[in-house]
Amino acid sequence: MKLLIHFLKGLLLLSLLPIPLSIPGGYLPTTEARKFQAEKMAYYYTIMDLPFSEDLLKKVIEYERIRYPDVVLLQAQLETGFYTSDIFNNGKNCFGMKFPKYRPTVSIGTYSGHAQYLHWMDSVIDYKIWQDWYLSKGWNIDNKSDKSFYMVFLDCIKYAEDPLYIPKLVRLSTLSAKDYS
């Protein structure tokens, strides 16, 4: 199964490479968007078998163009207990997300009541889908300069069951990883 996934991702990667494609009357121009997609897919393919690191997570968050990346990274740290939780290690879930009832997802099922993914990268992709879904429902979360605005949004939609979730994110944002316990 894993070999099939690698093969399919390789085919997808080849289809996105910034190689001029022959079309009737000439070549399809290589656009910046197409170059970006090719670079992103090549990166994803190269890290697929690497062990998780926060630097890899940051880069995937950047490639997915997730809004409020600093807050989202704090969420990953908090939700996974700095990447040590069972849901992260076995469910490949960086954000403690539940399996959605209404929106699209790349989750493959559930693990311990949370969405389960084939690879931790998929949970980042799903987080982007989640953000885009809320945007499509009229939530305006595009004020990228104010991370407290995003935390208020997370609180309004009850992202977490923990009533102290936002204060914990705020506290985590002021502490280094080794000081937080």
pLDDT in tens, 9-39: 554 544 544 455 566 766 667 788 888 898 9
What digits encode the pLDDT tens for the residues 70-112?
A: 999 999 999 999 999 999 999 999 999 999 999 999 999 999 9
Instruction: Please state, in angstroms and as integers, the Cα–Cα distance from residue 22 to each residue in 19, 25, 28, 31, 93, following that order.
Output: 9, 8, 6, 15, 41
What pLDDT is attached to residue 4?
Answer: 47
Q: Where are the domains of the chain?
A: 1-49, 66-181
Distance of alpha carbon 26 from alpha carbon 64, whole angstroms: 32
**Does residue 128 have a pLDDT over 60?**
yes
Contact 66, 72 (CB under 8 A): yes
Measured in degrees and rounded to the nearest 5, phi and psi for residue 112 equal 50, 40
Task: Tell me the torsion sign for CA atoms 32, 145, 81, 97.
Answer: negative
What is the CA 125 to chain-centroid distance, rounded? 4
Instruction: Tell me how long the chain is.
Output: 181
Contact 18, 29 (CB under 8 A): no
What pLDDT is attached to residue 177?
Answer: 44
179 or 44: whose pLDDT is higher? 44
Q: What percent of the chain has pLDDT over 70?
A: 79
**Does residue 129 have a pLDDT over 90?**
yes
What pLDDT is attached to residue 56?
Answer: 97
CATH architecture of 66-181: Orthogonal Bundle (1.10)
Q: Is the pTM of this model over 0.85?
A: no
